[in-house]
C-alpha cells in the first residue's frame, strides 16, 4: 500500500445504523452509499436477531461534504430506525 502525504485533513467516521431486520436491509444500506470516490470504506459489520439489525460503517475521507451526503442517504433507507456518527481526525 502506498501512502502519500496530504495537506488536507482526513476524518474517520463510524456510522452506527439500527433498523428492522428484513431481507436486503444490509444491501439497501450499502446501496445508499454514494458511488463517488470521495471516501474509503474502512470497515463494515452488521448483526441481526430476526427483529433488529445493527451495523457499523467506518468511512475515511478528506471531504466533509461526503460525510453529510452519506448521513443523509442512510436516513432514507426503508426500515431504518436511527443513524448516529462519531468522527475524529486522522493523519
Q: Distance between CA 61 and CA 46 in Å, rounded? A: 21
What parts of the chain have a pLDDT lower than 50?
A: 1-3
CATH code of the domain covering residue 21: 3.30.70.1150
2: in domain: no
pTM of the model: 0.84
- Angle subtended at Cα 34 by Cα 22 and Cα 3, rounded to the nearest 5 degrees: 115
pLDDT at 1: 45
- How many domains, the chain? 1
**8 Å CB contact between 52 and 21:** yes
Q: Residue 42 belongs to what domain range? A: 10-86
Beta carbons within 10 angstroms of residue 58's beta carbon: 15
Distance CA 54, CA 79 (A): 12
Amino acid at each position: 500500500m502506498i501512502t502519500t502525504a496530504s495537506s488536507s485533513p482526513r476524518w474517520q467516521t463510524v456510522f452506527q445504523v439500527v433498523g428492522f431486520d428484513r431481507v436486503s436491509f444490509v444491501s439497501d444500506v450499502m446501496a445508499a452509499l454514494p458511488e463517488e470516490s470521495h471516501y474509503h470504506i474502512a470497515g463494515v459489520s452488521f448483526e441481526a436477531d430476526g427483529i433488529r439489525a445493527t451495523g457499523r460503517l467506518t468511512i475515511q475521507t478528506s471531504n466533509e461534504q461526503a460525510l453529510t451526503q452519506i448521513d443523509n442517504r442512510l436516513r432514507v433507507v426503508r426500515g431504518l430506525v436511527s443513524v448516529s456518527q462519531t468522527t475524529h481526525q486522522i493523519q
